[in-house]
Structure 1
Amino acid sequence: MTFLSDALGPKVFELPIRVYIEDTDAGGIVFHAKYLHYMERARTEWVRSHGVELRAGLEDNVSYVVQRMNLHYAAPAKLDDQLLVTAEPIASSRVWMTFRQQVLRANDRQLMCDAEVRVACVALDTGKPRRLPENMKEILEKVI
């Protein structure tokens, strides 16, 4: 996991992932839904990299759910490819945060898939929207 410093904007988080057989169809091409798993992992690791413990959030009745997602599949990733999955927060409100995400082939940084993902904060017990925790709000204010 690394952060890339972007001179024109916020830091972009990158998570390396290798494509395993379980990620592919019979032709060795990554199944379209697996990209969602990769992006979820990158967002989760972005949160962890800022010192936020997800388990503690669950104990405080905080959960995060994908509210909206816009994806573009640009090229197929294949079995054994090494990928970089990015997570970059680009907007937030009192109850949600939006990430720009990309899946790139590591060796040449060719775009495989890109997405904009809005994640809402909800109360775990009711599923209703709630304000982002103060620590998450402070992190987002620093990076957006």
Structure 2
Amino acid sequence: MIEWDLPTPHILSWMVEPEAIDELGHANNAAYIRWLEQVAWSHTEALGLGLDVYRQLNRCFVARRTEVEYLAPAFEGERLQLGTWIVENDRRISMVRQYQVVREQDGVTLLRGNTRWVCVAMDSGKPRRMPHEFIDGYPLTQKES
């Protein structure tokens, strides 16, 4: 049983591939960053805000700052559960996505982190206000009381 930090995460199952393993025999820190991007994009698509919508709106989110706390290593062949939530949305230009990576076998949390995403125009890369599709489409996770 996985104990998620917040209720109702968007979850992506993942297998640690050989390419993720570094010289020390465990998943490299850069692999975790790629996994976080994968679960973020999976969540975005599940919310109905895929690349086609981004292009129509000429808006997308780019990572401004990512913070991660590596808690335990992942090894080749392990199955992981990547969870994510929207924990802040200023409804103007940025939102924060929180992550938790859990090893399926024993429920150990391997990583906690978050990314601040900034809304930009796709054609210029310059920060722009969120369209209503982003304001309404990226709902905040309601924390349990």
* TM-score normalized with structure 2 length: 0.86
Gaps of 5+ in 1: none
Decide whether the 8 Å contact of 1:21 with 1:28 is kept in 2: no
Kindly indicate whether the alpha-carbon contact (under 8 Å) linking 1:12 and 1:87 is maintained by their aligned counterparts in 2: yes
Report 1:41-52 matches (<5 A): 41-52=38-49
1:37-73 superposed Cα distances (whole Å, 9 cap, x missing partner) = 1011111111111111223312432121101111100
In the TM superposition, 1:70-89 aligns within 5 A as 70-89=67-86
SS at match of 1:33: helix
Match of 1:139 in 2: 137
CA distance in 1, matches of 2:17, 2:129: 37
Which residue in the other structure is 1:62 paired with? 59
Q: How many percent of aligned residue pairs carry the same amino acid?
A: 26
Q: Name the SS of the counterpart of 2:138 in structure 1.
A: helix
Note closer, same or farther for the CA distance 1:63–1:139 as it changes in structure 2 (3 Å cut): closer
Matched, 1:91 2:88: yes
Stretches of structure 2 that go unaligned for 5 or more consecutive residues are none
Taking the TM superposition and a 5 Å limit, the aligned residue runs for 1:1-144 are 11-93=8-90, 94-141=92-139, 143=141
Query: CA deviation digits over 1:82-115, x for unaligned, max 9?
Result: 0011110000111111011011101222111110
Q: Which runs of 4+ in 1 moved over 2 A?
A: 8-11, 139-144
**Whole-Å separation in 1 of the counterparts to 2:54 and 2:75:** 35
Higher relative contact order (CA 8 A, sep 6+): 2
Q: What count of residue pairs does the alignment treat as equivalent? A: 139
Deviates more, 1:8-17 or 1:65-74: 8-17
Q: Distance in 2 between matches of 1:55 and 1:11?
A: 26
Q: Secondary structure at the match of 1:68?
A: strand
State how far apart, in whole Å, the 1-side matches of 2:77 and 2:71 are.
18
- Which letter does structure 2 place at the counterpart of 1:139? G
Q: CA deviation at 1:28?
A: 3.1
Give the TM-score of the pair, scaled to structure 1: 0.86
Amino acid at match of 2:95: M
RMSD value, Cα: 2.1
